[in-house]
């Protein structure tokens, strides 16, 4: 069993996907109602434990349109990070799960961010950078 991080991702819960960009070289961007995700690493989307699409499928244009249509409007249910295997998992409404796998010693894997200042970046070699939320005016520099 992989160790789950103690990172609080609860501020992403109930945010909805408002836009999806699927590009070349494994690029996946999800725009959320108050944040987003940019992934440049292997990923897969599953619905009810069946793979809907993966980063190696991302160049197929007709499938991209269908995939985007099925994701727009989905709400974030849960976000977890499995430290041991360097995997970020985001569960959405509609039994959809997105898994991101960091697999590079040279490049960043993903950036998950919110408009309120939270950022979680997968760094080279499996390290990560975490900028927590500003909860007081002193922390936010205001």
Tens-place pLDDT, residues 31-66: 999 999 999 999 999 999 999 888 887 566 666 788
* % of the chain residues with pLDDT over 70: 86
Question: Residue 142 pLDDT > 50, yes or no?
Answer: no
* % of the chain residues with pLDDT over 90: 65
Residue 22: which H helix or E strand, with range? strand 17-22
Identify the pLDDT of residue 1: 41
Q: pLDDT digits over 83-105, tens only?
A: 989 999 999 999 999 999 999 99
For the entire predicted model, the pTM comes to 0.88
Identify the pLDDT of residue 9: 94
Question: Residue 8 pLDDT > 50, yes or no?
Answer: yes
Task: Write the CA distances from 62 to 29, 58, 142, integer angstroms.
Answer: 18, 10, 47
């Amino acid at each position: 069993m992989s160790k789950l991080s103690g990172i609080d991702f609860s501020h992403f819960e109930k945010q909805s996907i408002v836009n999806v960009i699927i590009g070349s070289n494994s690029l996946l961007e999800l725009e959320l109602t108050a944040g987003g995700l940019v992934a440049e690493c292997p990923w897969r989307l599953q619905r009810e434990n069946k793979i809907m699409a993966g980063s190696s499928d991302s160049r197929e244009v007709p499938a991209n349109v269908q995939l985007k249509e099925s994701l727009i409007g989905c709400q974030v249910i849960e976000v977890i990070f499995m430290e041991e295997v360097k995997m970020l998992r985001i569960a959405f409404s509609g039994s959809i799960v997105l898994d991101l796998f960091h697999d590079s010693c040279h490049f960043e894997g993903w950036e998950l961010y919110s408009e309120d200042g939270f950022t979680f970046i997968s760094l080279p070699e499996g390290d990560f950078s975490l900028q927590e939320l500003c909860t007081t005016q002193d922390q936010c520099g205001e």
